[in-house]
Chain A
Amino acid sequence: MNRAALHRALLRGASLLLHQHQRAEWLAEWRSELWHAEQDSPGAKVTASCLGAFRDAFWLRRHGPIRRSWNLLHLDTPAPPAISEPAPEWMLLESPVWCLSVLTLLAATAFYVALTLPTSRNVILASSYPDERNLVILDFDRTAKANASGLFNPFPSIPLGEFSALKESFGNRFAGLAFYWPIQMRAGTSHLNIARTSPELFRLLNIPLPAMRPHESSLLLSRAAWHKHFADDPHLIGHRIQLNGQSSFVSGILSESQWTLSSNLDGWLVEDETAISSLPADAQGFALARLSGTPPTVNAASGRLSFVALPDHGRWPVFRFLLFEFCFGCLLLPITTSLLSLGDYPRAMPARWLFLGAKTILVFLIVLLSVLDLASLWGSIEPGIFGLTAFAALFAMRWVIRDQQRRCPVCLRLLANPVRIGQSSHILLEWHGTELICLRGHGLLHIPERPTIWFTRQRWMDLGPSWNELFSDIRAN
């Protein structure tokens, strides 16, 4: 195939990209250009020009049909956005106020979702108990047990008999002592995990209790159990239900934020002290105590008494873990994104840093709450899910930095009109890269394509007052 035939074949091939009604005029123009080009400079240069016809045809196909008119190329479709403006998806973020508003809206949405999902709501609303450092779990011969089993139990249990003996002999050395015994009980067709306990437990934890009826046990249900087993029935409170065949008065619903010690209880059967002491002596439960000052040294019949601090609970352990993961993600940031360009500006511009700080805080909240939402949807707060925080933080902070690098340091709007300057082969003579301009005329940003020793990072150049006239229309808007 000779070169001229090749050129015609290329044009014919490119024309197939076009709609049929576009083809004739487009081919006529290109064939005419080809005829003239072959007259002036035959050879590879013309072949390269013909290859460009594919791009032209593709552009035409995407952006509009040619009307069947021999005289004028006319594009019927609405004009796409100008190439020099920020892409449409970023238009909303172009203004700094809008950018912060969008981020605030996202954070608020994530917060709202977190409050509507039960697991994340519990984490957010869960709080510590008052004077928690004096609250302890009691255990006997803890060191000996650990030596035998090879690990310390963070939430040890003791039999009721040992607790009763301790209370009788040394009860006056504590500001308060309480015991609860988790046991499975049947309510109709459901089986509930119920903690049998006395009002003292709730006094220790400073959880207000509804008034009890004399000589009658009172049942508090967890919100989850109320929802799961009783379909959120509001008439249940104040009525009696049968637990293991015995009538119990339902006195209220306890929210998950109030009880944060263990999550697998469906309810608390609050009975008077006499009823609790009549339970089997080998009932294995948990003994809580409130210390008053220095922990006393107690050597009971069951061995030396140990005091175990309450395990981490409430919102702070979860948030601490999330914060750690977020910081870990930020530490990985320099691998993917250059942080050098954040400070290379001719003068101090505090608004830039305030804007960066506000964006970072909002992104931090969005990431944390979104991961919490995701964990809630997953069904449980697990460290595996929280590992996502590091990746989310990495991508989110990468966006924050890149967005900051592309903003005018004066008006904080996104820069526009990216223009490529120079060529790679000119690297020894001058810089090559991209130039962006602030549409309000505050200045130009030069971003080198490849860092060199004389042009390592992007530079901002202020435009003087002589440019004001050129941008007066835009500034007025």
Chain B
Amino acid sequence: MPAELKLSHTAAMILKAIDAGHIYGFGVMEVTGLPSGTVYPAMRRLERDDLIRSKWEKQSIADEGQRPPRKYYSLTASGRATLEASQKRYPLLAKLIPASFDTEKV
């Protein structure tokens, strides 16, 4: 699967962060330590390549929490396969990105 091999280290980190439960942009920035100017374009690129998908939170849920609706990201099937291949290339990826304990439900 050639797509698996096209992933840069940055993209692999972001993919791993989303898989670990950091499902919105700011969370990915926090866990990877990457700046927003890197994370957001990279996430748009991953979405364009169909490795992740985004979904807006329902307005009613946001209203309940008295906050603006948020955009959440999740891995697609090909994103998951790509991540697996990337973890073989970057074995330290799993150690770099810890799992999130407060994963929000979309």
Contact = CB atoms under 8 A, between A and B. Distances in A.
B44 A32 contact: no
DSSP majority for the A interface? helix
A84 B35 contact: no
B56 A70 contact: yes
A33 interface: yes
Contacts of B60: none
Contacts of B76: none
Contact of B25 (A33, A54, A70): A33
B91 to A, nearest CB: 12
A85 to B, nearest CB: 7
B36 A56 contact: yes
Nearest to B88: A470
A151 interface: no
A474 B89 CA distance: 16
B54 A73 contact: yes
Interface residues of A, number: 44
B5 A52 contact: no
B contact residues, range: 35 or more
Contacts of B55: 71-72
A54 B5 CA distance: 29
A55 B42 CA distance: 11
Contact of B44 (A63, A418, A420): A63
Interface in B33-88: 35-41, 44-45, 47-49, 53-56, 67-71, 85, 88
A84 B37 CA distance: 18
Interface in A418-477: 418-421, 435, 437, 439, 470-471, 473-474
8 interchain residue pairs of minimum CB distance: A52-B36, A52-B37, A55-B37, A59-B41, A56-B40, A419-B9, A49-B36, A84-B6
Interface of B: 1-2, 4-11, 24-26, 29, 35-41, 44-45, 47-49, 53-56, 67-71, 85, 88-89
Interface of A: 28-29, 31-33, 35-37, 40, 48-56, 59-60, 63-64, 70-73, 75, 79, 82-85, 417-421, 435, 437, 439, 470-471, 473-474
